[in-house]
Amino acid sequence: YIDDLFIVWTGTREKLLEFIQALNDNSFNLNFTFSFDNSWIPFLDLSIVKQQDCTIGTDLFCKPTAAEVCYDRLGCFSNKIPWSWTPQRPIPRLPWSPEKINTRFLLYTRDNLNTYQEISAIQYKTIEESNFKTFRKTRFIIHGFLDNGEKSWMIQMCQAMLKVEDVNCICVDWHGGSLGLYTQASNNIRVVGAEVAFFTKILQNVFNYSPSNVHIIGHSLGAHAAGEAGKNHPGIGRITGLDPAQPYFQDTPIEVRLDPSDAKLVDAIHTDGAPTLINIGFGMSQTVGHLDFFPNGGKHMPGCKKTEILKVGSLDEITNVVDDLAACNHLRSYKYYTESILNPEGFMGYAASSYNAFQ
């Protein structure tokens, strides 16, 4: 099942229709449908804007129609360049509303190791009445695509932290916006990051809690959500990106992705940096922090085997195959990070002039 199939077409509209007909004639058990009116040509899930003086072809991205949504607490979000209409982010989408995404904050402390307390910046009395303490550092953990904030890996990371230090550990659950189309989820993280920033601003303004005591850890899309939080609330102490997501973020401007300017210290672990849909990598290969770590070259982790399953034609087709087998390298990042908390000297390193020399 294909949700989105994106094609940059350089021929005429008639040739495009012939191409779609040919796909259906040689269907490979797929059924491609389309329709169009005077202003829009939807192709599967993709809507290509057709403007006057604009042709389907090399002018595909000329005169894009911008849109914007605004949410009272969080500000406005546009689909203008660089958020859409670029080779890196061709499909224009706006983030969903805060109500639909339903970002939740799940607190773990040494006083509640196994059961979270749900707290809210909107109803900040819930923070006062919880086990949150302002004398502790606070670490947020943000999950990625198709994940949720009650997954065992996030709880295990919190519990590992709490074994070695007395902190407020907050799992950020945004599964209302992480499921479904990847292209949509990659835009929903803008609202998630704004929600985290709203939370840290409440901590600062109501509880006199310095953002320098905040550490935000994000896996995959969660890494870029962490970057959004830092952009919205300058002064965050640290952001850690765990294999920051590659599709829709690699080679984009710093406004779009995690960047060293997002916190006083930004570090990242890269474990799945092979090109997406070719070598089946979900993570970025480019540096995004003050410190970027590429264990084992940042592409192929010990114990992980690539699979032919992921040779697909669509980003959103990944939805059906992201699991421990297919995303093994991608998931290694948070496993390494959790292990490093409990065993900081457990990773053997070898000095070499380059990774090729090491190999």
Where do we find the tokens 């939805």? 319
Contact 170, 157 (CB under 8 A): no
Q: Choose the catalytic residue: 3, 147, 173, 243.
A: 243
Whole-angstrom distance, CA of residue 217 vs CA of residue 241: 6
353 is a catalytic site residue: no
Tokens of 177: 């916006």
| Coil, strand or helix at 34 | strand
Q: Choose the catalytic residue: 220, 270, 292, 314.
A: 220
84 is a catalytic site residue: no
Q: Choose the catalytic residue: 143, 215, 219, 330.
A: 330
| Strands across the sheet containing 137-142 | 112-119, 104-109, 167-173, 137-142, 214-219, 238-242, 265-269, 291-293
Contact 189, 221 (CB under 8 A): yes
Backbone torsion region of residue 135, taken as left when φ is above 0, otherwise alpha when ψ lies between -120 and 50, otherwise beta: alpha
220 is a catalytic site residue: yes
Whole-angstrom distance, CA of residue 357 vs CA of residue 359: 5
Report CA-CA distances (Å) from 285 to 19, 276, 299, 353: 34, 10, 8, 19
Of residues 330, 316, 242, 336, the one with CA closest to residue 280: 330
CA 225 to chain centre: 6
Known catalytic residues?
220, 243, 330
